[in-house]
Chain A
Amino acid sequence: MRELNYLQAIREAQFEEMKRDPKVFIMGEDITYSIYGTTAGFLEEFGAERVRNTPISESGFTGVGIGAALVGMRPIVDYSIASFIFVAMDQLVSMAAKATYMYGGQAKVPIVFRAVMFYGGGNAAQHSDRPYPSLMNVPGLKIIMPATPYDMKGLLKSAIRDDDPVFCFEDGTVLSSTGPVPEEEYLVPIGIGDIKREGTDVTIVGIAGCVALALQAAEALAQEGISAEVIDPRTLVPMDKNIILESVSKTGRLVVADPAHKTCSAASQVAAIVAEEGFWSLHAPIQVVATADVQIPFSPTLEQQVYPTKEKIVEAVHKTMA
């Protein structure tokens, strides 16, 4: 099968959906220039009406997208850097997430919000956020977290066809990673997790970029004779509880690795689900490997300390085996 990288998968998903449905359009800062390549060639193909450069006006263009969705368009809003979504928070929380419920089903908000999370690259406190846990606490949004090019393309296409607001968080640590992506049409359904590696001794749930770290950890653990199963929920809202609970019922041990800050992270939610519904399967306390509850420092020496690593995941697995 041919290989694409993560950014090429985003581009292809958007391109195909814009070809398929004239109501799909994309807007964001510098979108026609396409700094990351995810809209390369779009202006020529689709024109300036559907490939819409925005001013630096996150609250404004988020709301514009929501309003356009309310009357039948299907916007993709690209924030370019996930830290910028905080500027648009009221529009996301008070408008996008609430309209369908609050207006008694009269409103549909078919909109996709895309945000790349750059972290680990010396961008310091204000450009390195991984803000998805804040939005997990907002009912009404769906959140996809594709970790591979295959999942990215399939999930993003599903998101664009979904009639609800879907947030797509893109992990900056895997942008250049490649993987097989079929040429033919496929979708990955929202809300279905994936077993990335089968195992029998311990379950490692990886979120976003931590899926790759969990696979590296599983490889290292295999050298020691420990068989780790790696689960990628792929979607945080709705969360595929069953795939996690079934794995834990088999392995009896759980480590959750998550690039978010530890307090109220996606990992917290996974741990809570297993504590509530899978407790009697557990042979050892659940271990969470997440980013420390400090701001992201600049100096690489400092920054490297705060995130999950392969080594931290291996160490956490050892704790569940002790």
Chain B
Amino acid sequence: MKISNETLIEMLRRMYRIRHFEEKVIELVAAGELIGAAHTSIGEEATHVGACMALAPDDYEMGTHRSHGHPIAKGAALKPLMAELLGRATGVNRGKSGSMHLADFSIGSLGETSIVGSGLPAAAGAALGAKMLNNGKVSLCFFGDGASSQGTFHESMNLASIWKLPVIYLCENNGYAVTTAASYSVSVKDVADRAQGYDMPGVVVDGQDVIAVYEVVQQAAERARKGNGPSLVEAKTYRYREHAEGAMFESVGKASHYRGDEEYNSWLKRDPIILFRAKLVEMGVITEAQADDLNQETHEEVLEAVTYAKESPLPEQQEAFEGLYSTPISA
């Protein structure tokens, strides 16, 4: 199917946005200005963006501890996200969540969860809600190769299948759960093969190719909206950084002992942004100059977000004790 030029350009914009946002996160962590765990998904932008752009803007999305790219791909405003990372009152979660639990309900981002595999059942639940409310929405759940070994994976696939829920399970297989290789810890070569056990389609897609991801997820969303139930999509991708930023990982940004130079460098050659940019230029969708502008604009957006965050007030200390309940307790 034909993807409009407008959509294609927006894809590249969001990929750049994620990349610049996370490069800034790395700087802020190194400078000691961003505390707590911060997991980047540099290298995985095509998977985030291809999947989210295949949905309607108000469809549901849930994700993981590697949490920045998903809401940005879904269309979240950068300023409240960056303010959240810096613990500001203007943060999207009012400074209550930090990096690992971003959420922007205004664009269907129902929350990233940092216990591996914990979001899979809730994503099926959002799909059940959509079905019962008859609101036509679908639910997209990002999870990693590591989560595919959790019991919640099996339980969610089974429930989604027997109830024909409009949910798309998108495994971002970046090859490693922290340092443990999927080739060691996952019983099958392709997580997508497990779909057979749940009587749903299972598709492997090149996670470095944003258009390929978009098309596969669009088909899955169409199937879900027709009432035909869930799909499992496995995007083969790679994280260029270590599991998390920070002192525990001395080899940040380098091919470290558990990955090896050859493997690392082969994936580096398939940088999803470089590939997609070249493709759009080749297709005549944009010029090199326009692509440069896009790169520059998104970089400036991120800088503005950092300025906004830094200039934002910290939460009032009292707010630590507030917001536990939606219906406050009177007793």
Given contacts A23-B132, A49-B132, A94-B115, 6 further A-B contacts (CB under 8 A): A55-B159, A63-B156, A71-B110, A71-B126, A71-B133, A191-B330
**Residue ID in chain A nearest B320 by CB atoms:** A101
Q: Which partner residue on chain B sits nearest A60 by CB separation?
A: B155
> Contact between B113 and A239 (Cβ–Cβ < 8 Å)?
no
Using Cβ atoms and an 8 Å threshold, which residues of chain A touch B105?
Answer: 103, 106-107
The distance in angstroms between the C-alpha atoms of A52 and B230, with both chains bound, is 18
A316 to B156, CA, bound (A): 49
The answer on a CB contact under 8 Å between B110 and A105 is no
14 contacts between A and B (CB under 8 A): A23-B132, A23-B133, A50-B132, A60-B121, A67-B110, A67-B124, A67-B129, A67-B139, A68-B126, A69-B129, A71-B137, A101-B323, A103-B97, A238-B331
Known: A101-B96, A162-B327. A67 touches B126 (CB 8 A): yes
Give the residues from 107 to 139 in chain B that come closer than 8 angstroms, CB to CB, to chain A. Answer: 110-111, 113, 115, 118, 120-130, 132-133, 137, 139
User: B221 CB to closest chain A CB, in angstroms?
Assistant: 17
Interface stretch (choices B87-95, B177-185, B212-220, B257-265): B87-95
Asked whether A66 and B96 contact (CB < 8 A) given A49-B132, A107-B103, A163-B326, the answer is: no
CB proximity of B161 to chain A, nearest CB, Å: 10
Interface residues of A (CB under 8 A from B): 23, 25, 49-50, 52, 54-55, 57, 59-73, 90-91, 94-95, 99-110, 139-140, 142, 162-164, 189-192, 235, 238-242
How far is the CB of A93 from the nearest CB of chain B, in Å? Answer: 9
Give A156 Cβ to nearest chain B Cβ, in Å.
Answer: 16
Q: Are B103 and A103 in contact (CB under 8 A)?
A: yes
Do B129 and A102 have beta carbons less than 8 Å apart? no
Report the minimal beta-carbon distance from B45 to chain A, rounded to whole angstroms: 24
Name, among B110, B158, B162, B327, the residue most crowded by chain A CB atoms within 10 Å (CB to CB): B327
Interface pair A94/B113, CB less than 8 Å apart: yes
Q: Please name all residues of chain B whose beta carbon is closer than 8 Å to the beta carbon of A23 when the two chains form the complex.
A: 132-133
Query: Would you list the 6 A-B pairs with minimal beta carbon distance, nearest first?
Result: A67-B125, A63-B121, A60-B155, A104-B93, A191-B331, A67-B122
Q: How large is the interface on B (under 10, 10 to 19, 20 to 34, 35 or more residues)?
A: 35 or more
- B331–A72 CB distance below 8 A: no
Specify which chain A residues have a CB less than 8 angstroms from the CB of B62 in the assembled complex.
67
Which residues of A lie under 8 Å from residue B115 when comparing CB positions? 90, 94
B-chain residues with CB within 8 Å of residue A239 when the two chains form the complex: 331
Bound Cα distance A240, B330 (Å): 10
* A63-B94 contact given A55-B158, A68-B125, A103-B111, CB 8 Å threshold: no
Q: Determine the chain A residues whose CB is within 8 A of the CB of B120 once the complex forms.
A: 63
- Of A60, A63, A64, A106, the contact of B103 (CB 8 Å cutoff): A106
Note all chain A residues with C-beta closer than 8 A to B32.
none
- Residues facing A in B157-174 (CB within 8 A) are 158-159, 162-163
Which residue of A23, A66, A68, A191 has the most chain B CB atoms within 10 A of its CB atom?
Answer: A68
Which residue of chain A has the shortest Cβ distance to B118 in the bound complex? A94
Interface contact B125-A64, CB-CB below 8 Å: yes
Minimal Cβ-Cβ distance residue in A for B108: A71
- With A and B bound together, what is the CA distance between A57 and B121 in angstroms? 10
List the B side residues contacting A102 at CB < 8 Å. Answer: 93, 96-97, 101, 111
Asked if A73 contacts B327 (CB within 8 A), the reply is no
